């Protein structure tokens, strides 16, 4: 496989090291300081892999539209308008976006879709996420992914932490809480609190390597697919 990499952060560097160790070729790599050079590049790779920042999207989208190169993105913190831009980009190339490329999280999302409809009428739902102290956005993209899995029709009102005399908890709430500290790669727990019982789903990432492995696995599946916006569920489970 041949890749163009966007992002020189910890994830970007680890993707480059892992891909090269597997015998893949990195045709070009860009960071914040030289992303404008992407506009001079032709189609030289099988997939563009983007783990950068939301503000890089216009430059990346321009390149994908011009070359038709498939795009795999793991960038989080997008606004709704930027997510719409990603969806529209699917008209020019196969585009895969996910806030989390762990295969375990993909299975967790599927499990939550199955059980939430049964539990939601009688259970209070809270989501907690923990990350290292360098993470810029909160709540995490994965937490948002889990909220979407639990409440795809957006029937619940997100509450981001609680402070002061907030009153009785409403059944229409879904609490979302972000913890930051140390070097935690990522821990996400979905709590279902029911009458006299509690059910929890927890995923713990021991290192960033699981996200890298998942992203490279999915990147190998992307070339040759019809144009469109994909997620892990569509590819892994044929949805």
Residue in the structure block whose two tokens are 């939550």: 112
> Could you give the angle at the alpha carbon of 206 between the alpha carbons of 188 and 114, nearest 5°?
35
Q: Which of 70, 87, 69 is nearest to 78 (CA)?
A: 87
> Mind giving me the DSSP string for 66-97?
HH---EEE------HHHHHHHHHHTTTSEEEE
Name the pairing type of β-strands 25-30 and 2-6.
parallel
Q: Known catalytic residues?
A: 131, 135
Those residues whose C-beta lies under 8 Å from the C-beta of residue 199, and which sit 6 or more positions away, are: 119, 123, 191, 192
CA–CA gap between residue 73 and residue 83 (Å, rounded): 11
């Amino acid at each position: 496989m041949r890749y163009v990499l966007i992002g020189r952060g910890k994830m970007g560097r680890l993707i480059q090291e892992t891909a090269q160790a597997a015998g893949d070729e990195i045709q070009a790599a860009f960071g914040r300081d030289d992303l404008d050079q992407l506009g001079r590049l032709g189609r030289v790779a099988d997939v563009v892999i983007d783990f950068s920042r939301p503000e890089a999207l216009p430059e990346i989208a321009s390149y994908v539209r011009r070359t038709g190169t498939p795009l795999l993105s793991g960038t989080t913190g997008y606004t709704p308008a930027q997510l719409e831009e990603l969806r529209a980009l699917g008209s020019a190339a196969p585009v895969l976006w996910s806030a989390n490329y762990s295969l375990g999280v993909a299975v967790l999302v599927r499990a939550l879709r199955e059980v939430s409809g049964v539990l939601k009428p009688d259970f209070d739902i809270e989501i907690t996420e923990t990350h290292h102290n360098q993470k810029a956005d909160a709540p995490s993209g994965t937490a948002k992914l889990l909220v979407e899995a639990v409440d795809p029709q957006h029937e619940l009102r997100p509450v981001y932490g609680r402070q002061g005399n907030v009153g009785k908890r409403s059944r229409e709430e879904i609490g979302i809480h972000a913890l930051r500290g140390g070097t935690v790669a990522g821990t996400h727990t979905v709590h279902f609190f029911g009458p006299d019982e509690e059910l929890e789903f927890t995923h713990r990432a021991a290192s960033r390597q699981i996200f890298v492995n998942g992203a490279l696995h999915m990147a190998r599946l992307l070339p040759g697919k019809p144009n469109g916006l994909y997620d892990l569920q569509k590819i892994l489970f044929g949805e």
